[in-house]
Chain A
Amino acid sequence: GAVVSQHPSWVICKSGTSVKIECRSLDFQATTMFWYRQFPKQSLMLMATSNEGSKATYEQGVEKDKFLINHASLTLSTLTVTSAHPEDSSFYICSALPRGGSTDTQYFGPGTRLTVL
Chain B
Amino acid sequence: RKEVEQDPGPFNVPEGATVAFNCTYSNSASQSFFWYRQDCRKEPKLLMSVYSSGNEDGRFTAQLNRASQYISLLIRDSKLSDSATYLCVVNRRRDDKIIFGKGTRLHILP
B61 at interface, CB cutoff 8 A = no
Majority secondary structure of chain A interface residues (helix, strand, loop or mixed): loop
Chain A residues with Cβ under 8 A from B41's Cβ?
91, 111, 113
CB-based contact B103/A43 at 8 Å: yes
Chain B residues with Cβ under 8 A from A108's Cβ?
43-45
Q: Which listed residue, A42, A49, A110, touches B43 by the CB 8 Å rule?
A: A110
Could you say which of B11-19, B52-60, B63-71, B93-101 contacts chain A?
Answer: B93-101
A18 at interface, CB cutoff 8 A = no
What residue of chain A has the Cβ atom nearest to residue B43's Cβ?
A108
Rounded to whole Å, the gap between the CB of B31 and the closest CB of chain A is 9
Chain B residues with Cβ under 8 A from A70's Cβ?
none
Majority secondary structure of chain B interface residues (helix, strand, loop or mixed): strand
Please provide the chain A residues from 11 to 49 with a CB less than 8 Å away from any CB of chain B in the complex.
41-46, 49
CB-based contact A93/B91 at 8 Å: no
Q: Which listed residue, B91, B100, B101, touches A103 by the CB 8 Å rule?
A: B91
What residue of chain B has the Cβ atom nearest to residue A94's Cβ?
B43
B87 at interface, CB cutoff 8 A = yes
CB-based contact A102/B42 at 8 Å: no
Q: Which listed residue, A43, A46, A91, A110, touches B87 by the CB 8 Å rule?
A: A43
How many residues on the A side are at the interface (Cβ–Cβ under 8 A)? 18
Q: Which listed residue, A43, A103, A109, A113, touches B102 by the CB 8 Å rule?
A: A43
CA distance A102 to B97 in the complex (A): 10
B32 at interface, CB cutoff 8 A = yes
What residue of chain A has the Cβ atom nearest to residue B2's Cβ?
A43
A80 at interface, CB cutoff 8 A = no
Q: What are 26 pairs between A and B in contact, CB < 8 Å?
A: A41-B8, A43-B4, A43-B100, A43-B103, A44-B44, A46-B98, A46-B99, A49-B97, A93-B43, A102-B96, A103-B91, A103-B96, A103-B97, A103-B98, A104-B32, A104-B98, A106-B98, A108-B43, A108-B45, A109-B43, A110-B42, A110-B43, A111-B41, A111-B42, A111-B43, A113-B41
B contact set with A: CB distance below 8 Å: 4, 8, 32, 34, 41-45, 49, 87, 91, 96-103
